[in-house]
Amino acid sequence: MNIFTKYAKWLHTQWPAGRPEKLPAVNEDGSTNVRGLYVAGDLRGIPLLKYAADSGARVVESIVADSTFQSRRKDGDPEIDIAIIGGGVAGMAAALQARKHGLNFRVFESNEPFATVVNFPRNKPIFTYPEGMIPAGELTVSADIKEALVEELKGQSADIEVVGADVSHVRKIEGGFAIESSKGEIARARRVVCALGRSGNYRRLNVPGEDLGHVYNRLHDPHDFCEQRVTVVGGGDSALETAVAVARCGADTTLCYRGREFSRPRRENVKMLEELTSDSNAPGRIRVLREATVREIRPGEVSVETGGQSSTVPGDVVFSMIGREPALDFFRRSGVHISGEWDTQKTIGLTLFVLFCTALYNWKSGGFLSNLTYQHHLWPVSMKDDFSAVLSNPNSLVSVLVTSAATPSFWYTLAYSLLVTIFGVMRIRRRKTPYVRVQTYTLMFIQVFFLFLFPEIILPWLGKNAMLPQGLLDALFPAVEYGNGREYWRAYGLILAWPLNVYNVFTQQPLGWWLVIAFVQTFVAIPVLVYYWGKGAYCGWICSCGALAETLGDTHRTKMPHGPATNRLNMFGQAVLAVAVILLALRIAGWTMGNNAYALNQWFPGALNHYKWTVDVFLAGIVGYGFYFWFSGRVWCRFMCPLAALMHIYARFSRYAIVSDKKKCISCNVCTTVCHQGIDVMNFANKGRAMTDPECVRCSACVHSCPTQVLSFGQIDRNGATTKIDRLSATSD
């Protein structure tokens, strides 16, 4: 391993890199890109009964609240208000809610009502997580054993009429949808709720013999297998529950798992497995083969490879329990976007937006479009002429404002501040936690005051009216002939530290006070912040890029790509940081060598200009913002920002971590899915490891979204033991 690979591993590539599962792309209210088509239940990502019931009821509330649904039915509109596809927990909860609102609805079910639950193994224990949660709507889930649960669910929905039909897709028509099966159109409805669950498509092992008659994907009654030699393949809840159930009946049981640790299943299931692997008095014992890959299934035996060695295990019956895939084809046929998948519409949208950002950043950064507005005295340059009548007093607030407003950057930062404020308020309403409230108000204040009002209006006005000491003004904001008479834009450097903002440091002559400020920020204050609270103390609480990502970008966070390749791409920021460090060294050399470095001093402004157009305009502006709505709001922060790259190094020595209560984790992957820094949070949480990936920006989405409240912000010691949990709660009020 060469030194670069070792460094990359130490910094970025050693961390888990699991990907979120592909699911239909669904908004928080259950709606999708197909207007009028909603999704409820397991397809929303959380595989729990209570969440399924809750989302079913809430989706109907979203439909009822939609003004276009409430408006009067037009002639020719479908008779049925809501078609509910899937008569499981979510579908029935939606049906009960629709009935409560007096709506005309139909439930279409391909199997039987509550088929998934009915097919749970006999006497399966039911875990009704989260314990304190009361789902919205009328359907309650409280039983603790399968048979009682089926009775409880059927009892509450006995009078809901269910139409037997295997729906293949839905098709948009005038006023609603046509519901299609293999037999053609079977109904029409104004709105559709898809509550198909994930019981349909079993994952395949893709090995010879998988389709033999003794291979099953589901256990109905363990008593059918008491006398047999059973091999169960898998390492999740279903696999463990199957192995435990058949072993307890007395079957000779082998569990083949390709991983080492059982980190995904519920703790109760792991405990039961452990009892049956260690307790010799238990009714049935389970042989567990870890890191074992199934190669072939033959009558009576299964060929397995463990650590490069082949062996066979007995298998009169084989259960392949390696999970189920959502019915993505149903959604593709219905026109619903799948998370992470691309189509022509998305590609065109991305291309057009990147072109828009190219024009915007060219104009804002003094490029070709900016020159055009200057040359032709177009807006906003012409503002000063337009307002000349009121500018008789050059020191008045209006004069200062109009002068500042004659530059594109004034309008850019005004628009930026408005976006942070408007979407910040929306974020506070959406994510009701003390942490999000305090964090978002802080971001909004820093953006509006320090990154707009102060440099653009307040500071120039104070300066012009001699309300600030002359020495301070001369030291920090040198006099110039244009604008408000001084380089007040340098005040952005009070918040945006080197090397995010290089312009107060890379000057032709050193600006002493700015060098001191930049040094303290980058090499004293930020390291201290990162040591105690992680890189997110700056990226998630102070920086303007973070402010926009956490507000405007809040609903786009699931679009960040995950996986080993993007973890390697995290190293790109190190390259940008290296360029900034080389420029710093050259700049210091130029200053200290004076006339001896004439060539270097001549060359430096050109190099800085290249750096500006490559890093600030192209990478931060065009790529960072151009990709915003397709790859999340943190593309620049994660992959390219040189200050973040420096903080990643600091963060490797930090005490900050996201700590987890492993026993509560149900391995639902929600935390990984919502992480817009691409961190595989689940892989830390379900093993009880503190999450110390330096990419974390403390956004709190994982902590807030976890359905079983596993995660907390905190601090750890060198051995990884938790020393502190943050007081500001990031879980719901």
Ligand X SMILES: Cc1cc2nc3c(=O)[nH]c(=O)nc-3n(C[C@H](O)[C@H](O)[C@H](O)COP(=O)(O)OP(=O)(O)OC[C@H]3O[C@@H](n4cnc5c(N)ncnc54)[C@H](O)[C@@H]3O)c2cc1C
Rounded Cα distance between 676 and 340, Å, is 13
Mark the segment that binds ligand SF4 (CB under 6 A) among 59-67, 249-257, 520-528, 669-677.
669-677
> What is the closest distance, in whole angstroms, from the C-beta atom of residue 565 to ligand X in the complex?
31
Quick check: 85 binds ligand X (CB under 6 A)? yes
485 vs 564, beta carbon nearer ligand SF4: 564
Residues composing the chain: 733
Among ligand X, ligand SF4, none, what binds residue 353 when CB lies within 5 to 8 Å by partner kind?
A: none
Q: How far apart are the first and last CA of the chain?
A: 48
Quick check: 130 binds ligand X (CB under 6 A)? no
DSSP secondary structure letter of residue 201: E
Contact indicator for 358, 622 with CB cutoff of 8 Å:
yes
Angle in degrees, 0-180, between the axes of helices 434-445 and 408-430, rounded to the nearest 10: 170
Mark the segment that binds ligand SF4 (CB under 6 A) among 304-312, 407-415, 441-449, 692-700.
692-700
> What is the closest distance, in whole angstroms, from the C-beta atom of residue 85 to ligand X in the complex?
5
Rounded Cα distance between 475 and 638, Å, is 34
Residue identified by tokens 């020495």 is: 471
Instruction: Map residues 155-174 to x or -, x wherever contact with ligand X holds by CB under 6 A.
Output: -----------xx-------
Longest dimension (CA), the chain: 100
Quick check: 87 binds ligand X (CB under 6 A)? yes
> What is the closest distance, in whole angstroms, from the C-beta atom of residue 193 to ligand SF4 in the complex?
24
Mark the segment that binds ligand SF4 (CB under 6 A) among 77-85, 97-105, 106-114, 680-688.
680-688
Among 31, 199, 231, 601, binds ligand X (CB under 6 A): 199
The helix/strand/coil state of 724 is strand
Quick check: 697 binds ligand SF4 (CB under 6 A)? yes
Mark the segment that binds ligand X (CB under 6 A) among 1-9, 18-26, 79-87, 493-501.
79-87
Mark the segment that binds ligand SF4 (CB under 6 A) among 35-43, 151-159, 601-609, 685-693.
685-693
User: What's phi and psi for 618, nearest 5 deg?
Assistant: -75, -55
Rounded Cα distance between 98 and 242, Å, is 36
Specify which residues 105 forms β-bridges with.
82
Quick check: 127 binds ligand X (CB under 6 A)? yes
Contact indicator for 104, 88 with CB cutoff of 8 Å:
no
Contact indicator for 149, 141 with CB cutoff of 8 Å:
yes
Query: Under rule CB under 6 A, which residues in 663-682 are in contact with ligand X?
Result: none
What is the helix (H) or strand (E) element at residue 81, kind and residue range?
A: strand 80-85
Rounded Cα distance between 284 and 275, Å, is 10
Among 37, 83, 84, 90, binds ligand X (CB under 6 A): 90
Among ligand X, ligand SF4, none, what binds residue 425 when CB lies within 5 to 8 Å by partner kind?
A: none
> What is the closest distance, in whole angstroms, from the C-beta atom of residue 337 to ligand X in the complex?
19
Query: Under rule CB under 6 A, which residues in 235-274 are in contact with ligand X?
Result: 237-238
Contact indicator for 666, 656 with CB cutoff of 8 Å:
no
Task: Report cis status (omega within 30 of 0) of the bond before 380.
Answer: yes
Instruction: Map residues 274-313 to x or -, x wherever contact with ligand SF4 holds by CB under 6 A.
Output: ----------------------------------------
Quick check: 52 binds ligand X (CB under 6 A)? yes
Rounded Cα distance between 294 and 580, Å, is 51
129 vs 445, beta carbon nearer ligand X: 129
Quick check: 197 binds ligand X (CB under 6 A)? yes
How many residues at the interface with ligand X, by CB under 6 A? Answer: 36
How many degrees, rounded to 5, is the angle at CA 255 between CA 251 and CA 261?
Answer: 145
Q: What is the dihedral of CA 639, 643, 645, 649, to 10 degrees?
A: -160
239 vs 617, beta carbon nearer ligand X: 239
CA quadruple 583, 588, 591, 597: dihedral sign: negative
Among 199, 447, 522, 708, binds ligand SF4 (CB under 6 A): 708
Among ligand SF4, ligand X, none, what binds residue 701 when CB lies within 5 to 8 Å by partner kind?
A: ligand SF4
How many degrees, rounded to 5, is the angle at CA 646 between CA 641 and CA 649?
Answer: 130
Among 626, 699, 716, 726, binds ligand SF4 (CB under 6 A): 699
Q: Which of 569, 498, 508, 565 is nearest to 538 (CA)?
A: 498
Among 357, 537, 685, 690, binds ligand SF4 (CB under 6 A): 685
237 vs 680, beta carbon nearer ligand X: 237
Q: Which of 373, 366, 351 is nearest to 612 (CA)?
A: 366
Among ligand X, ligand SF4, none, what binds residue 690 when CB lies within 5 to 8 Å by partner kind?
A: none
Among 545, 702, 715, 716, binds ligand SF4 (CB under 6 A): 702
* Token pair belonging to 619: 């990478």
Q: What is the dihedral of CA 213, 214, 216, 219, to 10 degrees?
A: 130
Which residues contribute to the site for ligand SF4 (CB under 6 A)?
658, 660, 665-671, 674-675, 677, 679, 681-682, 685-686, 691, 696-702, 706-708, 710-711
Which residues contribute to the site for ligand X (CB under 6 A)?
41-42, 47-49, 52, 85-91, 108-111, 115-117, 120, 126-129, 166-167, 195-197, 199-200, 237-238, 327, 330
